[in-house]
Amino acid sequence: MSIMGNQSTQVTHGIKISVETKFQAEHSVAEHRHFLFSYRITIENNSEYTVQLISRHWDIYDSSSEHSEVDGEGVVGEQPVLEPGELFEYESACSLTTDMGRMSGKYLMERKIDKARFYVTIPEFELIVPQRLN
């Protein structure tokens, strides 16, 4: 059973990032300190320029203050190009050793018209096992 979580949204340079999280109970084993969360990201180009997502950077924290960073090209094996008004959605997952955590990050984007590069903020979002909220 997947449990819907929080939603976060932020706009940077006309690029809107929305995040929706789910706790994946069927893929988590609390006694082995393995808690899997999936997240769906929607990237919406509300600027007047065609842009391409070049790379990503994630900061991941669990409730024991453990911090990890993930860097990589594109997202889910793609470096999507978005025309004005277009959006791109993808799903990914993160596993924590605690039942609570948070993620935030940034995408490096490139405007196709002049190759100017800029960062777009991925809003911080919480990863919480629903029973923790009771």
The pLDDT, as a whole number, for residue 7 is 80
Nearest partner of 45 among 77, 3, 13, judged by Cα: 13
The answer on pLDDT for 1 being more than 50 is no
Cβ neighbour number for residue 8 with a 10 Å cutoff: 18
The pLDDT, as a whole number, for residue 65 is 84
The total number of residues written for the chain in this structure: 134
Kindly report, residue by residue over 44-74, the tens digit of the pLDDT: 999 999 999 999 999 999 999 889 999 999 9
In CATH terms, the fold of domain 2-133 is: Immunoglobulin-like (2.60.40)
Cβ–Cβ under 8 Å, residues 37 and 96: yes
Nearest partner of 46 among 123, 91, 109, judged by Cα: 109
Q: Where are the beta strands (DSSP E) in 46-116?
A: 51-62, 67-73, 81-82, 87-96, 100-111
The answer on pLDDT for 4 being more than 60 is no
Cβ–Cβ under 8 Å, residues 122 and 104: yes
The pLDDT, as a whole number, for residue 132 is 67
The answer on pLDDT for 102 being more than 70 is yes
- 3: confidence class by pLDDT, cuts 50, 70, 90: very low
- Take residue 74 and report the two structure tokens written for it: 């594109």
- 5: confidence class by pLDDT, cuts 50, 70, 90: low
With H, G, I as helix, E, B as strand and everything else as coil, classify residue 7.
Answer: strand
